[in-house]
Amino acid sequence: MLVSALLTSVGINSGLCVLFFTLYSILRKQPTNYEVYIPRLIAEGSSKRRSHFNLERLIPSPGWVKRAWKLSEEDLLSTSGLDAVVFMRVITFSLRVFLFAGVIGIFVLLPVNCSGDQLHDIDFADLSNNSLDVFTISNLSSGSKRLWAHFSAVYLVTAFVCYLLYYEYKCITGKRIDFFHSTKPQPHQFTILVRSIPVSAGSSVSESVERFFMEYHPSTYLSHMVVHRSSKLQSLIKDAKKLYKRITHLQSEPNQPQYRHVGFFRHRVDLVDHYGKKLEDIEENMRLERSEVSLATQEVRAAFVSFKSRYGAAVAFHMKQSINPTEWVTELAPEPNDVYWPFFSSSFMRRWLSKIVVIVACILLTILFLIPVLVVQGLTNLNQLEIWFPFLKSILTITFVSQVITGYLPSLILQLFLKIVPPIMEFLSSIQGYICHSDIEKSACNKVLWFTIWNIFFATVFSGSVLYQVSIFLDPKHIPAKLASAVPAQFLNVYAPKYETAGKFWPIVHNSMIFSLVLMQAIAIGLFTLKKLPLASTLIFPLPVLTLLFNEYCRKRFLPNFIAYPAEVLIKRDREDRNDPKMAEFYDNLVAAYQDPALLPIQFSANSDSLNSPLISAAQVRH
Amino acid sequence: MLVSALLTSVGINSGLCVLFFTLYSILRKQPTNYEVYIPRLIAEGSSKRRSHFNLERLIPSPGWVKRAWKLSEEDLLSTSGLDAVVFMRVITFSLRVFLFAGVIGIFVLLPVNCSGDQLHDIDFADLSNNSLDVFTISNLSSGSKRLWAHFSAVYLVTAFVCYLLYYEYKCITGKRIDFFHSTKPQPHQFTILVRSIPVSAGSSVSESVERFFMEYHPSTYLSHMVVHRSSKLQSLIKDAKKLYKRITHLQSEPNQPQYRHVGFFRHRVDLVDHYGKKLEDIEENMRLERSEVSLATQEVRAAFVSFKSRYGAAVAFHMKQSINPTEWVTELAPEPNDVYWPFFSSSFMRRWLSKIVVIVACILLTILFLIPVLVVQGLTNLNQLEIWFPFLKSILTITFVSQVITGYLPSLILQLFLKIVPPIMEFLSSIQGYICHSDIEKSACNKVLWFTIWNIFFATVFSGSVLYQVSIFLDPKHIPAKLASAVPAQFLNVYAPKYETAGKFWPIVHNSMIFSLVLMQAIAIGLFTLKKLPLASTLIFPLPVLTLLFNEYCRKRFLPNFIAYPAEVLIKRDREDRNDPKMAEFYDNLVAAYQDPALLPIQFSANSDSLNSPLISAAQVRH
Whether the pLDDT of residue B127 is over 80: the answer is no
Considering only CB atoms, B568 lies closest to which of A321, A564, A566, namely: A321
DSSP B131: B
State CA A623 to chain mean position distance: 45
Longest Cα pair distance anywhere in chain A, in angstroms?
Answer: 90
Whether the pLDDT of residue B192 is over 90: the answer is yes
DSSP A181: H
Whether the pLDDT of residue B264 is over 60: the answer is no
Beta strand ranges found along A284-426 (DSSP E): 299-307, 329-332
| Predicted pLDDT of residue B153 | 92
Note whether residue A5 is domain-resident.
yes
| Predicted pLDDT of residue B382 | 64
- Which of B176, B211, B320 best probes binding to A when mutated, by most A CB atoms within 10 angstroms? B320
A vs B, Cβ pairs < 8 A, gives 82
How far CA A309 is from CA of A358, A573, B229, in Å, comes to 37, 9, 40
- Rounded CA gap, A531 and A521, in Å? 15
> What are the chain A neighbours of B559 within 8 Å (beta carbons)?
325
ipTM of the complex: 0.76
Note whether residue A127 is domain-resident.
no
Note whether residue B308 is domain-resident.
yes
Whether the pLDDT of residue B380 is over 70: the answer is no
Are residues B569 and A323, on separate chains, in Cβ contact within 8 Å? yes
Are residues A561 and B323, on separate chains, in Cβ contact within 8 Å? yes
- Which of A568, A570, A573 best probes binding to B when mutated, by most B CB atoms within 10 angstroms? A568
> What are the chain B neighbours of A320 within 8 Å (beta carbons)?
560-561, 564, 566-567
- Which of B172, B208, B323, B324 best probes binding to A when mutated, by most A CB atoms within 10 angstroms? B323
Instruction: Work out the minimum CA distance from A326 to partner chain B, whole angstroms.
Output: 6
What is the mean predicted confidence (pLDDT) over B581-595? 85
Task: Name the domain boundary from A45, A61, A77.
Answer: A61
Instruction: Work out the minimum CA distance from A325 to partner chain B, whole angstroms.
Output: 6
SS (H, E, C) A333-355: CCCHHHECCCCCCCCHHHHHHHH
Q: How sure is the predictor about B607, in pLDDT bands with cuts at 50, 70 and 90?
A: very low
Q: How sure is the predictor about B125, in pLDDT bands with cuts at 50, 70 and 90?
A: low
Whether the pLDDT of residue B170 is over 90: the answer is yes
> What are the chain A neighbours of B560 within 8 Å (beta carbons)?
320, 325
Residue A389, SS3 per DSSP: coil
- Rounded CA gap, B109 and B134, in Å? 12
For residues B388 and B354, the model is more confident at: B354
Question: Within 13 Å of residue B279, how many CA atoms lie on the same side as its CB?
Answer: 24
- Rounded CA gap, A295 and A228, in Å? 9
> What are the chain B neighbours of A326 within 8 Å (beta carbons)?
556-557
DSSP B505: T
Considering only CB atoms, A566 lies closest to which of B314, B320, B556, namely: B320
> What are the chain B neighbours of A315 within 8 Å (beta carbons)?
315, 318-319
Are residues A325 and B558, on separate chains, in Cβ contact within 8 Å? yes
Number of domains in chain A: 2
> Exposed, middle or buried by CB within 10 Å (0-12, 13-18, 19+), for A344?
buried
- Rounded CA gap, A620 and A603, in Å? 13
Instruction: Work out the minimum CA distance from A572 to partner chain B, whole angstroms.
Output: 9
Closest by alpha carbon to B448, among B473, B423, B472?
B423
DSSP B494: T
| Predicted pLDDT of residue B21 | 84
For residues B395 and B595, the model is more confident at: B595
| Predicted pLDDT of residue A614 | 35
- Rounded CA gap, B92 and B99, in Å? 10
Beta strand ranges found along B534-622 (DSSP E): none
Are residues B568 and A322, on separate chains, in Cβ contact within 8 Å? yes
> What are the chain A neighbours of B561 within 8 Å (beta carbons)?
320, 323, 325
- DSSP lists the bridge partners of residue A226 as A303
Q: Is residue A5 within 8 Å of A400, Cβ to Cβ?
A: no
Residues B302-323 have pLDDT tens digits of 899 999 899 999 999 998 888 8
Instruction: Work out the minimum CA distance from B224 to partner chain A, whole angstroms.
Output: 19
Closest by alpha carbon to B3, among B108, B116, B124?
B124
Residue A91 CB partners (closer than 8 Å, separation 6+)? A484
> What are the chain A neighbours of B356 within 8 Å (beta carbons)?
549
Residue A144 CB partners (closer than 8 Å, separation 6+)? A116, A531, A533
Note whether residue B246 is domain-resident.
yes
What is the mean predicted confidence (pLDDT) over B101-118? 86
| Predicted pLDDT of residue A602 | 65
Sign of CA dihedral B69, B73, B77, B79: negative
Q: Is residue A425 within 8 Å of A338, Cβ to Cβ?
A: no
Q: How sure is the predictor about B163, in pLDDT bands with cuts at 50, 70 and 90?
A: very high
Instruction: Work out the minimum CA distance from A352 to partner chain B, whole angstroms.
Output: 9
> What are the chain A neighbours of B556 within 8 Å (beta carbons)?
325-326, 348, 352
> What are the chain B neighbours of A314 within 8 Å (beta carbons)?
319
> What are the chain A neighbours of B177 within 8 Å (beta carbons)?
323
Q: How sure is the predictor about B455, in pLDDT bands with cuts at 50, 70 and 90?
A: confident
Q: How far apart are the first and last CA of chain B?
A: 70
Whether the pLDDT of residue B420 is over 60: the answer is yes
Closest by alpha carbon to B87, among B442, B497, B488, B495?
B488
Q: How sure is the predictor about B615, in pLDDT bands with cuts at 50, 70 and 90?
A: very low
| Predicted pLDDT of residue A494 | 58
Are residues B315 and A320, on separate chains, in Cβ contact within 8 Å? no
Cα–Cα–Cα angle for B363, B369, B375, rounded to 5 degrees = 155
For A355, which residue in chain B has the nearest alpha carbon?
B549
Residue A70 CB partners (closer than 8 Å, separation 6+)? none
Instruction: Work out the minimum CA distance from B491 to partner chain A, whole angstroms.
Output: 29
Instruction: Work out the minimum CA distance from A567 to partner chain B, whole angstroms.
Output: 5
- Which of A197, A217, A305, A319 best probes binding to B when mutated, by most B CB atoms within 10 angstroms? A319
Question: Within 13 Å of residue A179, how many CA atoms lie on the same side as its CB?
Answer: 28
Note whether residue A423 is domain-resident.
no
What is the mean predicted confidence (pLDDT) over B266-284? 76
For residues B223 and A414, the model is more confident at: B223
Q: Is residue A325 within 8 Å of B560, Cβ to Cβ?
A: yes
Closest by alpha carbon to B9, among B410, B540, B387, B527?
B410
Task: Name the domain boundary from A37, A61, A85.
Answer: A61
Residues B328-374 have pLDDT tens digits of 989 888 888 888 877 665 566 777 888 888 989 988 888 888 777 77
> What are the chain B neighbours of A216 within 8 Å (beta carbons)?
567-568, 571
Angle between helix A567-578 and helix A147-182 axes, rounded to 10 deg: 30
Residue B365 CB partners (closer than 8 Å, separation 6+)? B421, B424, B451
Are residues B216 and A571, on separate chains, in Cβ contact within 8 Å? yes
Instruction: Work out the minimum CA distance from B291 to partner chain A, whole angstroms.
Output: 35
Q: Is residue B506 within 8 Å of B84, Cβ to Cβ?
A: no
Considering only CB atoms, A323 lies closest to which of B352, B549, B566, namely: B566
Cα–Cα–Cα angle for A25, A29, A35, rounded to 5 degrees = 115
> Long-range pairs for A600-604 at CB < 8 Å and ≥24 separation?
A602/A237, A602/A240, A602/A283, A602/A286, A604/A240, A604/A241, A604/A244
Instruction: Work out the minimum CA distance from B449 to partner chain A, whole angstroms.
Output: 25
The list of chain A residues with pLDDT below 70 reads 1-2, 44-53, 118-130, 253-269, 343-348, 377-385, 406-407, 456-488, 490-497, 602-623
What is the mean predicted confidence (pLDDT) over B61-78? 79
Specify the pTM: 0.77
Considering only CB atoms, A314 lies closest to which of B319, B324, B356, namely: B319
> What are the chain A neighbours of B567 within 8 Å (beta carbons)?
216, 316, 319-321
Instruction: State the DSSP string of B37-52.
Output: H-HHHHHHT-S----S
Residue type, A505: F
Q: How sure is the predictor about B30, in pLDDT bands with cuts at 50, 70 and 90?
A: confident
Whether the pLDDT of residue B617 is over 70: the answer is no
Considering only CB atoms, A567 lies closest to which of B321, B556, B568, namely: B321
Instruction: Work out the minimum CA distance from A351 to partner chain B, whole angstroms.
Output: 12
Are residues A557 and B319, on separate chains, in Cβ contact within 8 Å? no
Q: What percent of chain B has pLDDT over 90?
A: 13
For residues B569 and B418, the model is more confident at: B569
Residue type, B376: V
> Long-range pairs for A340-343 at CB < 8 Å and ≥24 separation?
A340/A430, A340/A434, A340/A435, A340/A436, A340/A437, A340/A439, A340/A440, A341/A230, A341/A234, A341/A596, A341/A597, A341/A598, A342/A231, A342/A234, A343/A430, A343/A431, A343/A433, A343/A434
> What are the chain B neighbours of A569 within 8 Å (beta carbons)?
323
Domain that holds residue A32: 1-61
Residue A460 CB partners (closer than 8 Å, separation 6+)? A373, A377, A469
Note whether residue A122 is domain-resident.
no
Q: How sure is the predictor about B208, in pLDDT bands with cuts at 50, 70 and 90?
A: very high
- A→B interface, C-beta within 8 Å: 177, 215-216, 314-316, 318-326, 348, 352, 356, 549, 553, 556-561, 564, 566-569, 571
Q: Is residue A95 within 8 Å of A487, Cβ to Cβ?
A: no
Note whether residue A150 is domain-resident.
no
Note whether residue A322 is domain-resident.
yes
> What are the chain B neighbours of A324 within 8 Å (beta carbons)?
557
> What are the chain A neighbours of B170 within 8 Å (beta carbons)?
none
Mean of the per-residue pLDDT values of chain B: 78
DSSP B259: E
For B571, which residue in chain A has the nearest alpha carbon?
A216
